[in-house]
Structure 1
Amino acid sequence: MRPTNTWFAEKLGDHGIYTQYMEDHHPAHMPCLEIRLLDWQQAAEIALRLEMRLVAVWATEGGCHDQPDSMFAYMGLAHPEHRHVLLRTQLGRERREIASISRHYIAACRMERHMQDMLGITVSDIPDGRRWIKHEHWPEDALPLRSEFAATTRMAQAEGSYPYVSSNSEAVCQIAVGPVHAGIIEPGHFRFLTVGEMILNMEERLGYVHKGIEKAMCGKTAAAGIRLAARISGDASVGHSWAFAHACEYAAGIRPPRRASYLRGILCERERMANHIGDIGAICNDAAFSFMHAQMQRLREDMARMHKQLFGHRLLMDTLIPGGVSIDLDQRGCRLLSEQTRMLAAEVEHLRTIYADHPSIQQRVIGSGIVSVNEARDIGLLGYVGRASGNYADERIEEAYPPYNELEVHVPQGRHGDVATRVWARFEEIADSARMIIRLLEQLPEGAVSNAWQAPEAGTSGFSAVESWRGEIACWLRFGDHGLIDRFFVRDPSVINWLGLELAVRDVPVPDFPLNNKSFNCSYSGNDL
C-alpha cells in the first residue's frame, strides 16, 4: 500500500535517489523510505534545500523481519506543508559506518555522537567526535544498545577525561559549574570561558542522569512501556506519554475514542500552563523579582492540587494509556476544571501587567541571551524557544492530530529571540491553552475513554510527533514477538534546544546565565536517556 505522503520520495527521485516504501511502518501519512547508504548525506542536503527541518537521527539493530545481525540508521524530517517522513538505510556488515549529516543539520551532531556511543557506529566527517552520553569512566567497548549487551551488566570503571574547549589566552578565565548544583535541578556540567564577567563560550556536558531508557523499554508490553515513557522527563509526563501512545496506536492501527482525544488535549494543555506559570516565576526570581515568583508558584500549586483531586497525580502521570486514557471527568470535574482555568488565565494576565510595568525586571530580560532568526532555524529550535526566534514549528498545526484538528491553535510569533521574548511567548501560550481547555471542556463528547489494545504483528513499527509544552517530542518504536516492544527511540525537544542555550549566552554576563538557563529550561532527564 502506497503511503499518502509521497512528496519527498518524488523529490528524491528527481535527484536520482531510489526509494522503497517500508510496508511494516505506520502511519501511512508518515512514510518510511528505504534508501541506499551512499545516498544518505545527499538526501539530507536535498531535504535542507527543500526547507525541511530535522526531527531526529538514530540507529537500531534489525528486527525479526531483518537479518539478525543487520543495523539500520534512521533520519526523521518534517515540512510544514508535507508533514513527516522517515528515511532508513542499512549499514554495511563488515564496517558499521555512515556519513555525518551535521554539515546540513547542526542538531544532528549530538545524535550522531549518541549512535557512536551506544551502538559503536562510526560516523565519518562528524565535526565533533567526542563521547557524548558515554562518559569517560565507561569502558570503550561498552555498547549498551547492542542486543548482546545485558541491561544488568556491571561495567568496570575506566579512566579518562573530557576534552573541553579551552583557551591559552591569559585574559580568558575558565569557570566550572556543576554537575551538582546548589538547587534541586538535575545534574549537568557547564564550562565557561570568560573575559571579565562576559561569557566568551559556554560548553555543556550532560548525561549524568543517563537511565538506559531505550534499553529498559525493550521487552515491555505497551501498557508497561507507557508508564516508563511518562517518567522520561517528569515535568512532561503527558507529552511523553502521548507520543508513546500515538506511536503504539499507529503501529497497531488503533484509534482512541473521540472523548479520549479531547481529554488528552485537556491534560496536555494543563501541563503546558503549569510549566509556563512555574517557569515565569522562576525566571523573575533569578532577576530578584521575588513577588512574581511567589505568585506564580502559588498558582502552579493550585493546579497541582486540582490535578491530584481530579486525575490522581499532581504531575498527571499514568493518565494516558495505549488506546485512550485511564481517567474520565464527570460534570462536577468539568465544572471545577473550567472554573480554575478561567481564574488562572485572568490572574496570570493581571500578573503580566505587573511584570511589564517593572523596569527592574525589564532591564534584565530585554536584549539578554539573543538567538537570531537565522540561528534558530539553523539549529531547529523547538517550542516556545523557537517561537521567540522566528521558528514557528508546532505539531498541533503541522500534524493536526485529534483534538487539535478541531481547534484553532494560536502560535506566538516572536523574532527578537531574547529572554523577554521567550517570557512573552510563554504568557501567550498560557492564554491560548486556557482558551482551548475551556472549549474542549464545553464540547467534550460522550462515549468511551479507551479502546481495547491489541499488539501489532512482530516487526511492525510506529512513529509519532506530539507538541509537548517544551516543543515537539518524536517517538519511534518497533514491536517484536508476543506483543513486546523490540526497539525504542525518543527525542525530547531539549536535545535540540540545549544547543540554543550555548549560543544564547555568548556575550552575556555570568550573573545572567541562570536567567537565560531558566528561560530555556531544557530537560536534563529528557536528554540523558
Structure 2
Amino acid sequence: MTDQTDTTRLFDRLNTLGPRAAAHRPWPRHVTDRTGWRTLIDDLDKDGGLALIGLWADADAGGVNVHAALRDETAGTGAVAVVTLPCPDGRFPSLSAVRPSAIRLERAIQDLFGVTAEGLTDPRPWLDHGRWGLRHPLADSPSPTDDSAAPPPYPVLPCEGEGLHQIPVGPVHAGIIEPGHFRFTANGETVVRLEERLGYVHKGVEALMRGQPVARAARIIARLSGDSTVAHSIAFAQAVEAALGLTIPPRAVWLRALMAELERLANHLGDIGAIANDAAFAFLLAHLSPLREAVARSADACFGHRLMMDCVVPGGVAPDIAATGPQRLLELVADLRRRFAPLVAVYDGKASLQDRTLTTGIIHRGLANRFAAGGFVGRASGRGGDARKSPGYAPYTDLEFEVPVLTEGDVNARVWIRIREVEQSLSLIEQIIRRMPGVPRGPDGITPPPLLRLPSVGEEREGMALVESFRGEILTWVRIAADGTVARCHPRDPSWLQWPLLEAAIEGNIVADFPLCNKSVNGSYSGHDL
C-alpha cells in the first residue's frame, strides 16, 4: 500500500479539524478536539455521503483516545480517513444520534475502556455481561468486581400494546451454532420487535493482542472468526505491512487472493443451501453441501488446511500452493460450473421456495446506507461497495470481475447476490491461476523470513487495512510499538454493521421466517464478540 495523497472533499474537511498523525498509513489520521469532533457530528448529520466504517478506542499515558474511520462515498475515489479525539476526562460526544451503527460500537468502548459516550442513545452494557471478574479490561487500571454477586438482569427494551407476547430464543440454540439471545415481541405470529443480545463468545481478543510479537498476533487474528480466517489474516497482514512500509513478494499477493476466493466460494455455497433448508427445502442443502466440501478438500490439498488457517502471515504467505494445486483448482472450477448452474435453476423455478424468500426480511436501502452495510447484505439493498475495487488492493486492481447489486433488499435478493458472487469467484480463481507469477529464486519467494522475527522499529507506527471478506468489508487497525510488538489492534468484523439490520429485517414478518432472515444476513457471533 502507498499513502493516499489525493485531495478530496473528505480530506479537505479533516484538515480543518486538527493536525495529521505522522506515522499512520496508508490513509491519514487527524487528531481533533471536542469542537472538531462536534463538527464531525454535524457533518455526519447533514451529509449522507459520509459513511462511518469503524469506531474504536485505545489507551495511552494521556488517557483514552477514540477513533472514527470515515469514507467519502460521494467522491468516487474511495477516500478513507480516521479522526481521533483524545478523552483525558474519560468522556466523548456520542455519534449514535446521527449514525445508529455507532450505538453498539460505543457501548463496547464503554465496556472495555470505561469512557462515557455522552448522549449515547442506548447506554446499556453490550459485551460486558457482568461475568468477567473485572470492569473495563482495556483501561489502564481495570476495576475488579465481586464474582460472588449475581449480575443484574439485562434491561430489555419495553414494547407495549394489546395482545403482545414475548418469545425468548437462545443463547443456546437447537443447532450446533454459536450463542446469541433473541427476544421477540409478537402479536400472534407477526413480529413487532426483535432485540438481540450478543457478547456470549467474547474472548478478550484485543487484550490478548497487546504486547504480542507480530507472528503470534497473526495466529490470534486467524481465530477470530473461523469462516473468515483468510480475510481477517489478510486484513491484519496488510495493516502491519502498511504500518511498516513493507512490500510483499508478488506471488504472495496472488496466493492471498486465491485463498480469499476459495474461502468466499465455500461460504456462499454453504449459505445458499442453508437458507433453502431453513425454508424446509432440504434438496438444495443436500446438493450444495458436497460442493462446499469439494472446495474445502481442494483448499486442504493446495495449502494444507481446509480453512487455510495460518496460511496468510504478515510479509507474505506461509505455504506455497502444492505443485498439483493449480490444475486441481481448474478442474474444481469446471466441475462447480457444471453442477452449480442446475441447482440455481432449481432455486429459481421452485414456486414454493420463492414464496418464502420473495419480499421476506426486507432491509431498505436508506437503512443499509445509515449502517454502511457491505457484503451481500449491502449489495442486496442497493449498495455497490466492494473493498477489492474501492479503495482497492492488489491483485484485484488487475483482475476483471463485477460486483453484483440488487435493490429489493429481501432474502431472495441476498440469495441472488451470493449466487452471482459464486460465479464471479469461479472466474477470479481461473484468472489468478493463469496469471500468478512464478516463485523467484532463493528462500524469500513468498515470505521474507525476517518479518516473523520483527526487530525493534524505533518508534510507534500505525497501519489500517480494508479487506473484502465473504460477509463484507473488514477493517483492521494496528499500532506497532517501538520494540516491534503489537501495542494495539482493533479488528472490526462486518457483522458489527449487519447484526442490527436483522432486527429491522424481521419486523412485520412472521416468527417462522426468522431462520430465513437470520441465515440470509448470517452475522458472525465470534467475529462480533471479540
TM-score calculated relative to the size of structure 2: 0.94
C-alpha separation between the residues in 2 aligned to 1:339 and 1:371?
Answer: 38
Unaligned runs of 5+ in 1: 63-67
| Local SS of the residue matching 2:337 | helix
C-alpha separation between the residues in 2 aligned to 1:463 and 1:188?
Answer: 29
1:256-291: CA deviation from partner (whole Å, max 9, x where unpaired): 111111111110011001000001000011111111
Q: Is the 8 A contact 2:185 2:193 kept in 1?
A: yes
Tell me which residue corresponds to 1:65. Answer: none
Q: Does 1:57 align with 2:55?
A: yes
C-alpha separation between the residues in 2 aligned to 1:204 and 1:330?
Answer: 44
Aligned residues: 515
Tell me which residue corresponds to 1:416. Answer: 408
| Local SS of the residue matching 1:105 | coil
Q: Is the 8 A contact 1:257 1:449 kept in 2?
A: yes
**Superposition map of 1:302-341 within 5 A:** 302-341=294-333
Query: Partner amino acid for 2:529?
Result: D
Tell me which residue corresponds to 2:87. Answer: 91
C-alpha separation between the residues in 2 aligned to 1:376 and 1:77?
Answer: 16
Q: Does 1:37 align with 2:34?
A: yes
Q: Does 1:130 align with 2:135?
A: no
Q: Is the 8 A contact 2:180 2:197 kept in 1?
A: yes
C-alpha separation between the residues in 2 aligned to 1:18 and 1:507?
Answer: 43
C-alpha separation between the residues in 2 aligned to 1:421 and 1:296?
Answer: 19
Q: Is the 8 A contact 1:384 1:425 kept in 2?
A: yes
Compared CA separation, residues 346 and 104, structure 1 to 2 (3 A): farther
Out of 362, 381, 384, the position equivalent to 2:376 is 384
1:159-192: CA deviation from partner (whole Å, max 9, x where unpaired): 3011112234341010000000010110000000
C-alpha separation between the residues in 2 aligned to 1:306 and 1:84?
Answer: 36
TM-score calculated relative to the size of structure 1: 0.94
Q: Does 1:297 align with 2:289?
A: yes
Out of 420, 438, 441, the position equivalent to 1:446 is 438
Tell me which residue corresponds to 2:107. Answer: 113
Tell me which residue corresponds to 2:508. Answer: 507
C-alpha separation between the residues in 1 aligned to 2:281 and 2:161?
Answer: 37
**Superposition map of 1:488-499 within 5 A:** 488-499=489-500
State the 1:42 CA deviation: 1.8
Q: Does 1:143 align with 2:136?
A: yes
Tell me which residue corresponds to 1:73. Answer: 66
Tell me which residue corresponds to 2:442. Answer: none
Compared CA separation, residues 247 and 193, structure 1 to 2 (3 A): same
State the 1:416 CA deviation: 0.1
Compared CA separation, residues 18 and 364, structure 1 to 2 (3 A): closer
Tell me which residue corresponds to 1:399. Answer: 391
State the 1:12 CA deviation: 4.1
State the 1:153 CA deviation: 9.8
Unaligned runs of 5+ in 2: 440-444
Q: Identity over the aligned pairs, expressed in percent?
A: 38
Tell me which residue corresponds to 1:100. Answer: 94
1:351-395: CA deviation from partner (whole Å, max 9, x where unpaired): 101111111111100010001111211222111110000112210
State the 1:338 CA deviation: 1.4
State the 1:2 CA deviation: 8.6
Query: Partner amino acid for 1:22?
Result: A
State the 1:327 CA deviation: 1.4
Q: Does 1:212 align with 2:230?
A: no
C-alpha separation between the residues in 1 aligned to 2:438 and 2:310?
Answer: 22
Q: Is the 8 A contact 2:63 2:90 kept in 1?
A: no
Q: Is the 8 A contact 1:120 1:143 kept in 2?
A: yes
Tell me which residue corresponds to 1:23. Answer: 22
| Local SS of the residue matching 1:21 | coil
Q: Is the 8 A contact 1:457 1:479 kept in 2?
A: no
State the 1:6 CA deviation: 4.3
Query: Which has the higher mean CA deviation after the structures are superposed, 36-45 or 430-439?
Result: 36-45
